[in-house]
Amino acid sequence: MSSSDKSVQLAAGASAGPTAVGGGAVAVAAPPRAVRAKRKRRKGIGWPARLEIALMTGPTLLVFVSFVILPVAVAAFYGFFSWQGYGPPQDFVGFRNYVLIFQDATFIDALQHNAVIVVLSLVIQGPAAVLLALLLNRKMRGQTLIRVLVFVPYVISEVVVGTGWSLMLQGDGAVNALLGRLGLDWLRNDWLSDPGMAIWTLMGILTWKYIGFAVILFLAALQGIPDELTEAAAIDGASYWQIQRRVTLPLLGPTIRIWAFLSMIGALQLFDLVYIIWGQYVAATAGTSTMATYMVANGRIAGEYGYGNAVAVVLFLISLTAALVYQRFVLRRDTEGAITEART
Amino acid sequence: MATPAVAAHRPTRARRRLAWGSPSVYFVALLLIGVMLAPIVYIILGGFRTNAQITTDPAGWPKPWNVANYLDVLGGEVFWREVVNSTVVAGCTTAGVVALGLMTSFILARYRFRGRGAMYSLFAAGLMFPLTVAITPLYIVVRTIGLMNTLPGVILPQIAFAIPTTIIILVPFLRAIPDDIQEAASIDGCGRLGFFWRMVLPLSMPGVITVAILTFIASWNSYLLPLFILNREATFTLPLGVQAFASQYSVDTAKVLAFTSLSMVPALVFFSLFQRRIVGGLTGAVKG
């Protein structure tokens, strides 16, 4: 690569010569030529370029539109029908599916579980991840290894995590046995099926699985903070914690806000872990069902595809509203900054 | 003038930091690692035990170590078939995402044409449509075009849903290649497509690798889409296989644990090979 770089530079250096000699019409040196080329590109593009654009974006657009945009449009359409999934939908029911959704206590429960999961994810994982990132940002031996190990649960599939944890958390599973051995019998619990406990179990597993992602994001941001800032604060007599609170945390702000956005959307869409650990029916009684598991149970498994699509639309609108509100009030200045930064 | 001052400061600061309360830091770090790894260790060790051992003492050590479960799984056809399926799906998805994403990002980053902004917004809007939301209608679309129970039925939607992130990550990368290089290349007789092959591809490699790794791991672990599309056991990918195995052998806990731990090996190997890239790549992605 370095040799090709060099040849390009050589060519750029040499280009002034031939062009200047080149002829009366183009009797200008390199810089004006660049300007001219730019102007030409802006004015209009030739057929070869149009062909290139079509060839290189066409397949992407085709795949993207048919598997992302079309299904979402289709969902909005089918949501107005009572439809079992075969033949063209004919039984138009207007907004009845939507009315039914919001009259169904099971859905309202699921919605509440989602809300609890969103809030608890932010409240538990956020501060914990910031503290862990600060800890791992300190210079210590085995730093790289620790960072990698923290990230491991994030890399393992939800199915493996779900299968493993549900075996460990069974009434006669490893967690209760371990607590018994440590003499903590009063802590033994019906982790998965006790309705008062299950949502906390779920939060524990979610935190374990996803905190590594937050920690890595925050660590990356911490390393972007110039040492000079914290050093200056230290010279001014600030203690370690004062520096973290007054200097590091504000600079970590944009990353924390973007993480919170991703975490919020992820929590609203949560499906895999709940479905794997609690199955399609138990989730509702254990108090861990989410909008997505409700959608799958009452849509595809029940054979009511029209209804399932309506739930998908509701889930989408809720996520979209949350995303837009968050972007409007929290993220705006960050994205503005990111865009200007990316351009320079 | 600033540089030597900083350089002089660094060693003292490092020494001070190491000295300050480092035992407690190590203690917390060790505790953290213990919590993060314990469930994984439990799954792996559980595979080395027998069901009798697990029933009498769920939290115990393998005693004696028993490799029959692992040999059973490795000797069976099911596990390997699912490994192949998962590899095909993740490999094709990654290749497709990289090829399509790179070409489209190149156009979006370096061509000026009417509708460019609209096209970028269209792809960016894709970030708002998560797979979970689209899964029911997506299932209908895949069924309509006759790709049910086929691996392409999983691959194509996965490519489509990975494209927005890919474009968001790659466009700034490609835009950052200075115009001068393109000018110079064109003077050298290199057309726009030649520029793409000879300059853009090598220069955007770090971004491409990040995208590729993230796509591969996401695809390897994906559950919801295969759950909807693949109903025949012959087409199962590993996540579906693990779940099917777990319900089929629900009494044989040790064997389930062996199967589960073997199924995470490829992802772990892949991750440890590329961990530096993943952790570094996330930094790049976030900084935009």
Q: Residue B193: is it exposed, middle or buried by C-beta count within 10 angstroms (0-12/13-18/19+)?
A: middle
Inter-chain CB proximity B13 and A231 less than 8 Å: yes
Spatial distance between the Cα atoms of A175 and A187, rounded to a whole number of angstroms? 10
**Within a 10 A sphere around the Cβ of A3, how many other Cβ atoms?**
7
pLDDT (average), residues B183-207: 78
Q: Which residue has the higher pLDDT, A103 or A174?
A: A103
Please report the pLDDT score of residue B201 as a whole number: 81
Q: Which value does ipTM take for this structure?
A: 0.79
**Within a 10 A sphere around the Cβ of B279, how many other Cβ atoms?**
17
pLDDT tens for B236-257 read 888 888 888 888 887 788 888 8
H helix count then E strand count, chain B: 15, 0
Q: Residue A8's domain spans which residues?
A: 1-41
pLDDT (average), residues A152-175: 84
Please report the pLDDT score of residue B112 as a whole number: 77
Chain mean pLDDT for chain B? 78
Contacts of B67 (CB under 8 A, 6+ apart): B48
In B, residues 103-162, which contact A (CB 8 Å cutoff)? 103-104, 106-108, 111-113, 119, 122-123, 126, 128-130, 132-141, 156-157, 159-161
Please report the pLDDT score of residue B183 as a whole number: 77
Minimal CA separation from B58 to chain A, in Å: 5
Inter-chain CB proximity B43 and A160 less than 8 Å: yes
Minimal CA separation from B128 to chain A, in Å: 7
Number of domains in chain A: 2
Q: Is residue A99 part of a domain?
A: no
pLDDT tens for A293-342 read 888 888 777 778 888 888 888 888 888 888 888 877 776 665 554 444 44
Domain-by-domain residue ranges, chain B? 16-69, 77-287
> With the C-alpha atoms ordered B278, B284, B286, B288, is the resulting torsion angle positive or negative?
negative
Q: Does the pLDDT at position B176 exceed 90?
A: no
Q: Which residues pair with A81 in a beta bridge?
A: A92
Q: Is residue A162 part of a domain?
A: yes
Please report the pLDDT score of residue A332 as a whole number: 67
pLDDT tens for B89-111 read 999 999 999 989 888 888 888 77
Task: Tell me which chain A residues have a C-beta less than 8 angstroms from the C-beta of B186.
Answer: 37
Of B13, B107, B163, Cβ closest to residue A53: B107
Spatial distance between the Cα atoms of B86 and A223, rounded to a whole number of angstroms? 36
Task: Tell me which chain A residues have a C-beta less than 8 angstroms from the C-beta of B193.
Answer: 52
Quick check: A161 contacting B, CB < 8 Å?
A: yes
Spatial distance between the Cα atoms of B11 and A227, rounded to a whole number of angstroms? 12
Spatial distance between the Cα atoms of A206 and B116, rounded to a whole number of angstroms? 40
Mean pLDDT lowest among A39-48, B94-103, B125-134, B274-283:
A39-48
**Pick from A284, A300, A95, A230: which is nearest to B138 by CA?**
A300
Please report the pLDDT score of residue A208 as a whole number: 92
What residue of B is the nearest CA neighbor of A42?
B112
Quick check: B253 contacting A, CB < 8 Å?
A: yes
Minimal CA separation from A195 to chain B, in Å: 23
The answer to whether B162 and B215 are in contact (CB under 8 A) is: yes
Per DSSP, the residues of B92-123 read HHHHHHHHHHHHHHHHHHH---TTHHHHHHHH
Highest mean pLDDT among A151-160, B11-20, B183-192: A151-160
pLDDT (average), residues B173-197: 77
Minimal CA separation from A116 to chain B, in Å: 19
The answer to whether B209 and B281 are in contact (CB under 8 A) is: yes
* Claim to verify: residue A335 and residue A241 sit in the same structural domain: yes
Q: Does the pLDDT at position A274 exceed 80?
A: yes
The answer to whether B192 and A52 are in contact (CB under 8 A) is: yes
Please report the pLDDT score of residue A331 as a whole number: 65
Q: How confident is the model at residue A280 (pLDDT cuts 50, 70, 90)?
A: low
Which of A28, A67, A230, A300 is the mutation pick for testing B, counting most B CBs within 10 A? A67
The answer to whether B162 and B218 are in contact (CB under 8 A) is: yes
**What region does B171 belong to: left with phi over 0, alpha with psi -120 to 50, or beta?**
alpha
Contacts of B282 (CB under 8 A, 6+ apart): A216, A217, A220, B210
* Claim to verify: residue A147 and residue A223 sit in the same structural domain: yes
Spatial distance between the Cα atoms of B211 and B104, rounded to a whole number of angstroms? 14
Please report the pLDDT score of residue A123 as a whole number: 92
The answer to whether B126 and A68 are in contact (CB under 8 A) is: yes
Q: Which residues pair with A92 in a beta bridge?
A: A81
Long-range contact set of residues A23-31: C-beta below 8 Å, sequence gap at least 24: none
Task: Tell me which chain A residues have a C-beta less than 8 angstroms from the C-beta of B228.
Answer: 300
Helix, strand and coil content of chain B, in percent to the nearest 5, comes to 80, 0, 20
Q: Does the pLDDT at position B136 exceed 60?
A: yes
Minimal CA separation from B138 to chain A, in Å: 5
Q: Is residue A56 part of a domain?
A: no
Spatial distance between the Cα atoms of A162 and A202, rounded to a whole number of angstroms? 10
CA atoms within 13 A on the CB side of A194: 11
Q: Is residue A50 part of a domain?
A: no
* Claim to verify: residue A134 and residue A35 sit in the same structural domain: no
Q: Does the pLDDT at position A11 exceed 50?
A: no
Instruction: Please give the angle made by the CA atoms of A62, A64 and A67, to the nearest 5 degrees.
Output: 100
pLDDT tens for A216-269 read 888 877 877 777 887 888 888 777 788 878 888 888 887 888 888 888 888 888
**Pick from A220, A76, A106, A34: which is nearest to B286 by CA?**
A220
Q: Is residue A46 part of a domain?
A: no
pLDDT tens for A32-70 read 444 444 444 444 567 777 787 888 888 888 889 888 888
* Claim to verify: residue A32 and residue A146 sit in the same structural domain: no
Task: Assign a CATH topology to domain B77-287.
Answer: MetI-like fold (1.10.3720)
For helices A47-64 and B152-175, the axis angle rounded to 10 degrees is 130
Torsion angle defined by CA atoms of residues A340, B2, B8 and B14, in that order, rounded to the nearest 10 degrees: -20
Of B18, B37, B163, Cβ closest to residue A60: B163
Q: Does the pLDDT at position B147 exceed 50?
A: yes
Q: Is residue A228 part of a domain?
A: yes
Q: Does the pLDDT at position A289 exceed 60?
A: yes
pLDDT (average), residues B254-270: 84
pLDDT tens for B153-174 read 889 999 998 888 888 878 877 7
Q: Is residue A90 part of a domain?
A: no
> With the C-alpha atoms ordered A114, A106, A288, B138, is the resulting torsion angle positive or negative?
negative
> Would you call A26 helix, strand, or coil by DSSP?
coil
pLDDT (average), residues A100-118: 88
Q: Give me the CATH number covering residue A335.
A: 1.10.3720.10
The answer to whether A172 and A190 are in contact (CB under 8 A) is: no
pLDDT tens for A126-140 read 999 998 888 887 777
Please report the pLDDT score of residue B24 as a whole number: 77
Alpha helices for A269-329 (secondary structure H): 272-286, 291-296, 305-326
Please report the pLDDT score of residue B281 as a whole number: 55
Please report the pLDDT score of residue A25 as a whole number: 34
pLDDT (average), residues B38-52: 83
Minimal CA separation from A44 to chain B, in Å: 7
Minimal CA separation from B218 to chain A, in Å: 8
What residue of A is the nearest CA neighbor of B245?
A163
Q: Does the pLDDT at position B40 exceed 70?
A: yes
In B, residues 16-75, which contact A (CB 8 Å cutoff)? 17-18, 20, 22, 25-26, 28-29, 32-33, 35-37, 39-40, 42-43, 46, 55, 57-60
Quick check: A57 contacting B, CB < 8 Å?
A: yes
Q: Which residue has the higher pLDDT, A190 or A38?
A: A190
Q: Which residue has the higher pLDDT, B184 or A2?
A: B184
What backbone torsions phi and psi does residue A271 show, to the nearest 5 degrees?
A: -140, -60
